[in-house]
Amino acid sequence: MIKIGIIGGSGLDNPDILKEAQEIPAQTPFGLPSSVLTCGAIGGVDVAIIARHGKDHSIYPTGVNFRANIWALKEHGCTHILASTAVGSLREEIAPGHLVFPNQFIDHTRKRETTFFDEKEVVHTSLADPFCQNLIDLLAASAEAIELPFHKNRTVITIEGPRFSTKAESHMFRSWNADVINMSTVPEVVLAREKKMHYAAVAMSTDYDCWHEEEEPVTWEMIVKVMKKNADNVIRLFLDVIPKIREYKDMCVK
């Protein structure tokens, strides 16, 4: 049975997009998740939405209880995760407003709990290909069908935050072949893989970080302004792609 977990916020937890929406509290061995689960259906597919930073966006990046969030979605029966995230662009062609579906990540975090296997057993999870390529391809096909600008199979670098990068760091990340930058994908994708869930990120480009000399350095106000515009596009994408995922019950993470 296919059940989709959506991780995000900024309108993405609006119960109006779900049929017969209801809120379900969740508890985990790792504490409370960031929010209750908003559950319902999209196109006949069961969906559970969790607000990564809380419904009032009160949780700073490193304060997100990533393990509780993934555990709660898994225990609720979610088989796939679509994770929306704001990103800064490190490439000229990835303009603000574009969507990005990454297939690789670089972990530049330092303080986060990154595994479920830190006590009774040691499990070495393969992460050569951390994102589900089938989901990436489905997202790209849907974005093309509804005429949304997108880029797929790119590399996201996750930094600790909550501060933004210096210009030196931004140029360094570009030299590492990172294409976009955020504060949320790691360890989320790692934990999803440990729980054997199919995970794809829907990254919303909001700015050019601070490497682009012709643009103003990124600010939180700038991100919020672009995210409000992007949120409607992401909702359109989810409404289109989620029913299609049901047709791929034999999807496997490559």
Place of tokens 């350095």: 217
Question: Catalytic pick from 207, 232, 240, 250?
Answer: 207
Q: What is the pTM of this model?
A: 0.92
CATH value at residue 95: 3.40.50.1580
136, 245 Cβ separation under 8 angstroms: no
DSSP codes of every residue in 129-172: S-S-HHHHHHHHHHHHHTT--EEES-EEEEE--SSPPPHHHHHH
In a domain, 251, yes or no: no
pLDDT in tens, the chain (254 residues): 899 999 986 556 565 778 888 999 999 999 999 999 999 999 999 999 999 999 888 999 999 999 999 999 999 999 999 999 999 999 999 999 999 999 999 999 999 999 999 988 889 999 999 999 999 999 999 999 999 999 999 999 999 999 999 999 999 999 999 999 999 999 999 999 999 999 999 999 999 988 887 777 667 677 777 777 778 899 999 999 999 998 876 444 44
Q: Which domain holds residue 53?
A: 3-245
Alpha carbon distance 244, 166 (integer Å): 41
Catalytic, 46? Answer no
Please tell me the distance from the alpha carbon of residue 115 to that of residue 190, in angstroms, as a whole number.
7
In a domain? residue 254: no
Q: Does a structural domain hold residue 227?
A: yes
Per-residue pLDDT, 146: 97
Among residues 29, 44, 34, the alpha carbon closest in space to that of 12 is found at 34
Any domain includes 187: yes
Catalytic, 240? Answer no
Residue whose C-alpha is closest to residue 193's, from 149, 252, 239: 252
Instruction: Give the model's pLDDT for residue 213.
Output: 78
Instruction: Indicate which residue of 13, 179, 209, 240 is catalytic.
Output: 209
Domain total of the chain: 1
Domain assignment present for 60 = yes
pLDDT at 190: 98
Indicate the pairing of strand 19-24 with strand 37-42: antiparallel
